[in-house]
Amino acid sequence: MLELNNLNAHYGLSHVLQGVNLEVKPGEVVGLFGRNGVGKTTVMKSVAGWLKPSAGSIRFEGRDLGSMSSDRIARLGIGFVPEDRRIFPGLTVEENLTMGLLQRKGRSRSEEREAIEATFRRFPRLLERRRQAGTTLSGGEQQMLAVARVLVGAPRLMLIDEPTEGLAPMIVDEIFNIIQQLREEGIGVLLVEQNVHRAIEVSDRFYALERGAVIFSGRADSASDRERLMAAISL
C-alpha cells in the first residue's frame, strides 16, 4: 500500500531524513518509534505532502506521491492526523467533521450526510457535543475529533502522529481501541507514538528510527524483536 524507498528530506540545510525505507500493507498497523527529534513526524509530513522529499520516492498503491500536493494526496485515500490536531477554531464539532468531507469528492449529499452520522455512531461522545465549538473540547475529545474528521473522508491509509500525548489513561484506552478497530476494518495505519508498549499491542510490525534512518525493523508478535526495539530506542 505505502512504500518509502531511500527517502531523504531537509528543513533548510538540516538533513532530517537520510534514506528511510519502510512499507505499510493494507489492513496492518505499523509503528514508527524512536526518541524525540529523530525524524518520525517528518516521515509523516513527507507522506502527507506537507514536506517535499529531497531524494528518494514515496509510493501509494503504485503511484508516486513525490510531486503531488497535500490535497491531492488526501483525495487518493491518505488521511493525516497531526500531533497538534489542527481543530478549526470557530467551527462546531459537526462543522469540523464536515470539513473532512473535502477529502473525498463525488459523493452525493445523502452519502455525505450518512458519512457524518456514521462517524457520530462511532464516536458517541462527539455526537453529544456536535453543536459545541471544537476548540472548547477536552484534549482527549479534540483528539477523537481529529481522528473522526479524517475518517469522514473514508481513507484507506491513516497517518497518526502521537495520538495519546498528554491524555488521561481512560482516553488513551479509547484511542488505542479506535486504532484496533481501524485495523479490523482493513485500514492501513502508520503510527507514531511515545507509549511504545501500548502501541506495540495494536501493531503488526514496527520500525525504529535514529538520526533520520531506520536502524531496526521487526514484528510486534516477536518477543526478541520487541526487546531489540526497546534497546534500540533507549540508547
What single string gives the DSSP state of each residue in 125-194? HHHHTTTSBGGGS-HHHHHHHHHHHHHTT--SEEEEESTTTT--HHHHHHHHHHHHHHHHTT-EEEEE-S
Return the minimum-mean-pLDDT range out of 15-29, 58-72, 162-176. Answer: 162-176
Q: Which residue is listed with cell 457520530?
A: 120
User: Averaged over 110-119, what is the pLDDT?
Assistant: 88
Contact 39, 16 (CB under 8 A): yes
235: pLDDT strictly greater than 70: no
Q: Is 51 helix (H, G, I), strand (E, B) or coil?
A: coil
211: left (phi over 0), alpha (psi -120 to 50) or beta: left
Residue 59: per-residue pLDDT = 97
Q: What are phi and psi of 180, to 5 degrees?
A: -65, -40
CB 16 within 8 A of CB 212: yes
Q: Residue 59 carries which side chain, given as an amino acid letter?
A: R
Interatomic CA distance for residues 57 and 20, integer angstroms: 10
pLDDT of 62 reads 93
Predicted confidence at residue 46, as pLDDT, reads: 96
What structural domains does the chain harbor?
Answer: 1-77+156-235 (3.40.50.300), 87-154 (no CATH)
Give the residue-averaged pLDDT of 144-153. 92
